[in-house]
Structure 1
Amino acid sequence: MRFDIITLFPELFASLLTSGITRRAYEGGLVDVRLWNPRDHAEGNYRRVDDRSFGGGPGMVMLAEPLFKTLTAIRAERNEAEPAPLVLFSPIGKVLRHTAVAQWSQSAGAVLLCGRYEGVDQRFIDQYVDQQISLGDFVLSGGEIAAMALLDAVARLQPGVLNDEGSHQLDSFNPALDGLLDCPHYTRPEVWQGHAVPAELMSGHHAHIERWRREQSLRLTVQHRPELLHQAREEGRLSRQDEIFLKNLPISGE
């Protein structure tokens, strides 16, 4: 798959593409990332890419024309019968969740637009943006961090990227966990600062270990993300044993 990133700060992506375990996806070509700076397609001696907002107010707005020329160059290079979607990271976008990441991981990629300043000229958005994505109800200085979050989430789902092929299937929100939160994890030493690893994990009894992990996943989800548990219940993904555990789970504060 291929992701073309439109950004005024392409240098921000250097560490993502060359560090950590997901670099295997980029170096191996599983996820082809290409960076495009609108300044390279801007006019004038100063290669201007922004201007003041009509109607007044603080901040600057990204100009439509340099973005259009950048997108045109990307479309020409991709040369696809079906143009890849143009995605803008913005507060009005749908919040990115695991289901969407999984879908992106099976796609041919996209063009990702990283906004800056007060935003992008609305006429460009109306004319060319196909989808908007948000990381949550907060504002970043630009879309680069959001783009890197999407790339990292997609890259780790590619075959051969993680050391353990099935490890991502036990991540929080994954269908293999019925969309619930992951359970707690422990490692050596067996006792640290007076706190021991739960006895169930040391038992060597695989069925007991799996049941303990399931119950901890249920406990964490009901405590921190009850809406995920409600969804799993509505979709019939909770077993009778799960429901018995939840029924007997002490209410927080008791």
Structure 2
Amino acid sequence: MTCSESPWRATILTLFPDMFPGPLGVSLAGKALASGLWALEARDIRASATDRHRSVDDTPAGGGPGMVLRADVLAAAIDAADTGQSGPNDRPRLLMSPRGRPLTQSRVAELAAGPGPLIVCGRFEGIDERVIAARELEEVSIGDYVLSGGEVAAMVLVDACVRLLPGVMGKHASGTEESFSEGLLEYPQYTRPQEFEGRTIPEILVSGDHAKVAAWRQAEAEALTRARRPDLWAIKARQKRPKSTTDG
């Protein structure tokens, strides 16, 4: 990164800005943050409230339990975060939501290659649907379960992106030879000691034959994916299937 380039930047809109950087402030992400390889900004949604109570939510239209984040307050928070940027559509705007599209390694790679996202962390029963449409928020899910809020999910997404930024990991191969990078789960890993409680490292891995090691790892990755993630294996199988000569 040259001096004229801006670092990858994550802007978090949350009711609890003190939750950040949290885990993002330690280990690889924390070291990269301290060295300026990326930047983090946690903004309080309540700062955009207009009444003296700093209200950000209201009861659901149509009735029901819980509260809903107001469209006007959240839209103002998003607009304030965009102030001074190159344009309203310059950065991806994400909403961490259990109803969003599942986060994938390919989407993470796309986000890591860009300027960095603005991430909205929902709370309560959710946010007003109108602000999702009006501010073109991309809903993203990290799994089929419900959290107390979007903050932990945002940390997951940011961590996944940061580790792919140039200079963050020690070896470039560390980011390419791992689960999901090629549509497969990662092969088993071993290290010293040679024997542990009667279990030894597979002989092929200490043979010094790099071609055979690569073939073993590929076969193990395929076997694990086939057994544990048949959904991923089905996609991989379709990609490997030769196109019909009668097509077109």
**Smaller-chain TM-score range?**
0.7 to 0.9
CA gap of 1:237–1:154, structure 2 versus 1, over 3 A, is farther
2:238 counterpart of 1:234? yes
Change (3 A) 1:116 1:35: same
One-letter amino acid matched to 2:185: L
Distance 1:130 1:115 in 2: 12
Given the alignment of the two structures, is residue 125 of structure 1 paired with residue 129 of structure 2, yes or no? no
* Cα deviation, residue 83, structure 1: 3.5
Give the Å deviation of 1:82: 4.0
The SS at the match of 1:166 is: helix
* Amino acid in the other structure paired with 1:191: E
SS of corresponding position for 2:132: helix
CA distance, structure 1, for counterparts of residue 241 and residue 38 of structure 2: 32
**1:112 aligns to what SS in structure 2?**
strand
1:191 maps to what in 2? 195
1:32 aligns with 2:39: yes
Corresponding residue to 1:111 among 101, 114, 118: 118
Query: Residue 242 of structure 1 corresponds to which residue in structure 2?
Result: none
TM-score (norm 1): 0.86
What 5-or-longer segments of structure 2 have no aligned partner? 1-7, 243-248
Tell whether 2:160 aligns with 1:156.
Answer: no
1:21 maps to 28
Q: Which residue of 1 aligns with 2:205?
A: 201
Output the CA distance in 1 between the equivalents of 2:138 and 2:218. Answer: 36
Distance 1:83 1:184 in 2: 40
Q: CA deviation at 1:52?
A: 1.6
1:212 to 202, 213, 216: 216
Residue 140 (1) aligns with residue 147 (2): yes
* SS in structure 1 at match of 2:143: coil
1:234-253 aligned within 5 A: 234-236=238-240
Q: Is the 8 A contact 1:85 1:129 kept in 2?
A: no
Deviation of 1:38 after TM superposition, in Å, equals 1.0
- Residues 1:12 and 2:19 aligned together: yes
Contact 1:51 1:60 in 2 (8 A): yes
CA contact (8 A) 1:85 1:111 kept: yes
Matched residue, 1:46 = 53
1:102 aligned to which of 91, 104, 109: 109
Give the CA deviation at 1:31: 2.4
| SS of residue matched to 2:156 | helix
Equivalent residue letter for 1:132: E
Give the Cα–Cα distance (whole angstroms) in 2 for the partners of residues 17 and 237 of structure 1.
40
Cα offset for 1:180? 1.0
Is the Cα contact below 8 Å between 1:88 and 1:129 reproduced in 2?
Answer: no
Q: Secondary structure at the match of 1:138?
A: coil
Give SS of 1:182's match. coil
State the Cα deviation string for residues 195-249 of structure 1 (Å, max 9, x = none): 11112112222222222111111110110112322322322289xxxxxxxxxxx
Amino acid at match of 1:196: T
SS of the residue corresponding to residue 42 of structure 2 reads: strand
Structure-2 separation of matches of 1:237 and 1:171: 23
Structure 1, gaps ≥5 residues long: 239-254
- Deviation string 1:98-136 (CA, Å, 9 cap, x unpaired) is 110111111122211000010001221221133111112
Report if aligned partners of 1:25, 1:158 keep a CA contact under 8 Å in 2: no
User: C-alpha separation between the residues in 2 aligned to 1:33 and 1:5?
Assistant: 8
| Aligned-partner Cα distance in 1 for 2:52–2:88 | 36
In 1, distance between residues paired with 2:88 and 2:42? 22
C-alpha distance after superposition, 1:65-111 (max 9, x if no partner): 22122112111132437442321111221111011011111112221
